[in-house]
Amino acid sequence: MKSKVTLSLGLLSSALFAEIKTTAEQQIFGSGFTFKDIQAPATNDFGTKATWKIISGKIDQNSGGIAALHDGKVPSNDDTPRENFFFAAGSNGGLVHVDLKKSVDLKRITTYSRHFQNRGPQVFDLYASRSGEPPKGAADLKNEDWVKLASIDTRRPNRSMGGRHAACLTGTIGRFHHLVFDLKPTEKKTPFGLTFFSEIDIVEADGPELIFLPSANPAKVIRFATKDKKFSFIVDTSDSPQYEKWIKDDLSPVILEWYPKIVDLLPSKGYEAPQKVTLQFKNNVPNGIPAYATGSFITMNARWFKNQLRKEAKGCVVHELVHVVQNYWLAPRLNPNPRQTPSWVTEGLADYIRWFLYEPESRGAHYPPAQIRRMKHDASYRISANFIDWISRNYQKDIVTLINDDARHGRYEENLWKAHTGSSIEELARAWRAQK
């Protein structure tokens, strides 16, 4: 039994057949299906000629259908259901049958998947049969015609699940007529643990020369860490090499100074802010969205940043860093009955830290009293930031820390403003608008 490990991704699978070699790779950075040792998807492998069918399990309505597995195409993005095949949310997966329609000498089988989170990795068993008899269901796989070729699991403890995954069987696989992929969920904490399979290549031993999908640029990243090594950062510039110098000279000092400051400003008892933060520039973020944070991952719109490097770019990143530290996604884990924090509070706090602490000199959220008179405190972003700044100067200097702690624990409610400042939210809003 041989097993090869590439790209430091431990392969938690075993080849159960004597001459079969299994490998797995994960690409977290960059965006293409270019792996170190595993070949890119092909457009004319034998799989494109085979007949593919689901023999148990229910396909997800949002999926691109079984054709997505053998159309020679891969998804353009990390969350494009229509360009992948996957079983129904909340299900246990199922069986995909591939009828090769004759006995075929196989030399490689490669499975590709892509998702930004837990639908990225692959967990499956692969069965094959020499007989011409197609399987009717799971029970048939136990009869003597069938052999298990491999058990694949591309997950790895303590490593993020997102990105592009590929698993590959090579060597002397053998001659087979039928294949069955027994696809399983990657996790069961959410209904969304069914892998987004993008393509499966089945390569015959004496097939035509393969035509591969164009390879992507190799992933490029910039890494830096705080002096005490407590916080480390990775900026993925695969899509935006033009920003490398700006990231090194301008952005990284801001992140190194401000991330720890934000962590200190937004503590909770027993809470540890994410220690590894990844920032990725992407070319395909919709217009109008400069950046967004999910967990400890910040996605930045490469096109938006182009004209903002000397204007709003750094402040925008500071705002997203606040979301990473806020971590209000945690609330359901800290509180059995979490209350949703209104977005004006979440965004107001992020913009407060950005405009009033990080770059007060830009005066981006400083309004004259005459203008404030016509504003609503919950209008979000800069306006709510102004309101929060005003409370912190006139009522409660720790309001940001206090409200953040409430929000993170899913216990936000309007009464808390009164508890923290002595005045109700309506009284505060009225006084804010009446300021001279």
Which residues are at the interface with Zn ion (CB under 5 A)? 347, 350
Pick from 118, 53, 58, 120: nearest CA to 93: 58
Residue spans of alpha helices (H) in 354-398:
369-372, 381-394
What are the angstrom distances between the C-alpha of 77 and each of 43, 162, 164, 168, 416? 19, 12, 10, 22, 41
202 contact, one of Ca ion, Zn ion, none, CB 5-8 Å limit per kind: none
Distance of closest approach, residue 68 Cβ to Ca ion, in angstroms: 5
For the bound state, the minimum distance from the C-beta of residue 317 to Zn ion, rounded and expressed in Å, comes to 11
Picked from Ca ion, Zn ion, none, the partner binding residue 331 (CB below 5 to 8 A depending on kind) is none
Distance CA 358, CA 278 (A): 21
**The one segment of 66-74, 187-195, 260-268, 371-379 that binds Ca ion by CB under 5 A:** 66-74
Q: Which of residues 281-340 bind Ca ion (CB under 5 A)?
A: none
Are the C-beta atoms of 201 and 100 separated by less than 8 Å? no
Partner that binds at residue 109, options Zn ion, Ca ion, none, CB closer than 5 to 8 Å by kind: none
Q: What does the CA dihedral 48, 90, 278, 158 come to, rounded to 10 degrees?
A: -100
To Zn ion, the closest distance from the beta carbon of 59 in angstroms equals 36
Q: 394 to each of 247, 352, 377, 427, 428, how far by Cα in Å?
A: 37, 15, 15, 13, 10
Is 168 or 350 the residue whose CB approaches Zn ion more closely? 350
User: Which residue, 183 or 318, is less far from Zn ion as judged by CB?
Assistant: 318
For residue 251 the two structure tokens come to: 């952005």
Please say which residue, 51 or 362, places its beta carbon nearer to Ca ion.
51
Q: Which does 60 bind (CB under 5 to 8 A by kind): Zn ion, Ca ion, none?
A: none
What's at 412, amino acid-wise? Y
In the bound state with Zn ion, the residue whose beta carbon lies nearer, of 350 and 429, is 350
Q: What is the distance of C-alpha 19 from the center of its chain?
A: 35
* Residue number of the CB atom closest to Ca ion: 199
**Least gap, CB of 324 to Zn ion (angstroms):** 11
In whole angstroms, what is the distance from residue 266 CA to residue 30 CA?
32
For residue 57, give Cα distances in angstroms to 68, 84, 193, 275. Answer: 17, 16, 14, 39
**CB proximity list for 220: less than 8 A, separation 6 or greater:** 29, 30, 236, 237, 238, 241, 244
- DSSP track, 18-53: TTEEEEEEEE-SSSSS--SSSPPPBSSSGGGGSEEE
Q: How many residues bind Ca ion (CB under 5 A)?
A: 4
Shortest Cβ 319–Zn ion spacing (Å): 6
Question: Looking at beta carbons only, is 78 or 236 nearer to Ca ion?
Answer: 78
Closer Cβ to Ca ion, 73 or 303, answer by number? 73
Would you say 122 or 278 has its CB closer to Ca ion?
122
**Helix or strand or coil: residue 16?**
coil
One of 49, 53, 58, 73 touching Ca ion (CB under 5 A): 73
Q: What x-and-dash track marks residues 175-214 binding Ca ion by CB under 5 A? A: ------------------------x---------------
CA distance 166 to 118: 14
Residue in the structure block whose two tokens are 């602490």: 357
Candidates 52-60, 73-81, 269-277, 285-293: pick the segment binding Ca ion (CB under 5 A): 73-81
Q: Interacting stretch for Ca ion, rule CB under 5 A, among 68-76, 171-179, 221-229, 364-372?
A: 68-76
Task: Find the shortest distance in angstroms from Cβ 343 to Zn ion.
Answer: 8
- The answer to the question of residue 71 lying near Ca ion (CB under 5 A) is yes
Nearer of residues 251 and 350 to Zn ion, judged by Cβ: 350
- Where on the chain is the footprint of Ca ion (CB under 5 A)? 68, 71, 73, 199
